[in-house]
Structure 1
């Protein structure tokens, strides 16, 4: 786990934490310009509770790194256009007038402010941000370690399942063969039942014919008896 000193000294470690701009508002509310994107040097100094000169010294020592993380200097037409855009968004906050820089304006993004927090040594607020970052890093490491243990347990369970499936393979094959045999026997039984059904149908027709012949025989016998009585 990186230490606070390592974070102050290592540009590579600071780069790894640059996505965690959410920690700024968790430590203290950061007041943005009307565009919701930029902050002035004075606002950064107010956030960290230091003088603007302290912030400017940090910029001088690490300008290249901070420019990579959103530090911008506006002059001339760019500055005039920016002021015009901010004036349209300002909307006249009660008791305040929009602060206009005369010739130049240094702008910070949240990413740049986080960069300052990882470089500014003499600020309790900056130290709180670094502590929060390092604590979040430790929480992340702990979470990843826990996740790794859970994945290991799952893999172990899956290995057991795979072993059980391998043992079940021959059993399933035997069951499949027995089911095939039962299917064949059932098909044979169905054919026998079909043949018996046909035979029973034929027998039913024979019984109907026998009944008809018996009826004829009974009528003939009755006619013979009547004939004998008359004689």
Structure 2
């Protein structure tokens, strides 16, 4: 597990954790500017409970890294356009924006988290780092648990595979016997069908014999009546 010192010293490690911006609000509410996207230098200082000078010096030392994290400095026409688009924007929500200022530094939540991983002398920054590392540890433990479960499932599946291999010859013999039974059933059905046809023929013969017997009986009765006369 990475330590707080490693997080402070390693830019690569800070980049690895740069997307975990949700930890900021878990430690303390981060007040955004009215655009809902950025925080000013004063707002960042207020969040970490340090002076604006501390944030400015940190920004100067790590400008390239913070710029990659979303920090931007507005000047000239860009600053004027931003102020026109955010007429209600205030300097930390109190009063109105000073109309005369040469530049305005804006921080995204990602950049604020980056500052939390750089700022040494702030209890809030330390809490953010601790929360970030604890959350990672919990994630690692969860991943390890999941990995163990996946391994157990794989082992079970391996056992099932072995059992299926052992059952293969047995299932093959059963399949052959079933095929043989199907063939015998087909032959039996053909015999039954032939017998059914023969019975139908015999039934017809019986009906014809009954008719002839009735005819002969009528003839005999007729002969007897004639003889009596």
TM over 0.5: yes
Two-structure CA RMSD over aligned residues (Å): 1.7
Aligned position for 2:42: 42
Q: Does 1:53 align with 2:40?
A: no
- Are the aligned partners of 2:7 and 2:13 in contact in 1 as well (CA < 8 Å)? yes
Instruction: State the alpha-carbon separation in 2 of the partners of residues 185 and 45 from structure 1.
Output: 90
Instruction: State the alpha-carbon separation in 2 of the partners of residues 13 and 4 from structure 1.
Output: 10
Q: How does 1:186-197 map to 2 (within 5 A)?
A: 186-197=185-196
1:202, CA displacement in angstroms?
Answer: 1.1
- Give the TM-score of the pair, scaled to structure 1: 0.94
Instruction: State the alpha-carbon separation in 2 of the partners of residues 47 and 101 from structure 1.
Output: 25
Q: Residues 140 and 109 from structure 1, CA distance in 2 versus in 1: closer, same or farther, beyond 3 angstroms?
A: same
Greater CA drift, 97-106 or 198-207? 97-106
Aligned position for 2:149: 150
- Give the TM-score of the pair, scaled to structure 2: 0.95
- Are the aligned partners of 2:27 and 2:127 in contact in 1 as well (CA < 8 Å)? yes
- Are the aligned partners of 2:31 and 2:39 in contact in 1 as well (CA < 8 Å)? yes
1:95, CA displacement in angstroms?
Answer: 6.8
Instruction: State the alpha-carbon separation in 2 of the partners of residues 193 and 175 from structure 1.
Output: 26
Aligned position for 2:15: 15
Q: Residues 60 and 85 from structure 1, CA distance in 2 versus in 1: closer, same or farther, beyond 3 angstroms?
A: same
Cα distance per residue 1:162-218 (max 9 Å; x no partner): 011111111111111111111111111111111111111111111111111111111
Instruction: State the alpha-carbon separation in 1 of the partners of residues 105 and 43 from structure 2.
Output: 11
Q: How does 1:195-210 map to 2 (within 5 A)?
A: 195-210=194-209
Q: Residues 196 and 42 from structure 1, CA distance in 2 versus in 1: closer, same or farther, beyond 3 angstroms?
A: same
Instruction: State the alpha-carbon separation in 1 of the partners of residues 99 and 170 from structure 2.
Output: 84
Q: How does 1:74-113 map to 2 (within 5 A)?
A: 74-87=74-87, 90=89, 96-98=95-97, 100=99, 102-113=101-112
Aligned position for 2:221: 222
1:220, CA displacement in angstroms?
Answer: 1.4
Structure 1: give runs of 5+ residues left out of the alignment: none
Instruction: State the alpha-carbon separation in 2 of the partners of residues 135 and 31 from structure 1.
Output: 24
- Are the aligned partners of 2:7 and 2:14 in contact in 1 as well (CA < 8 Å)? yes
Aligned position for 1:181: 180
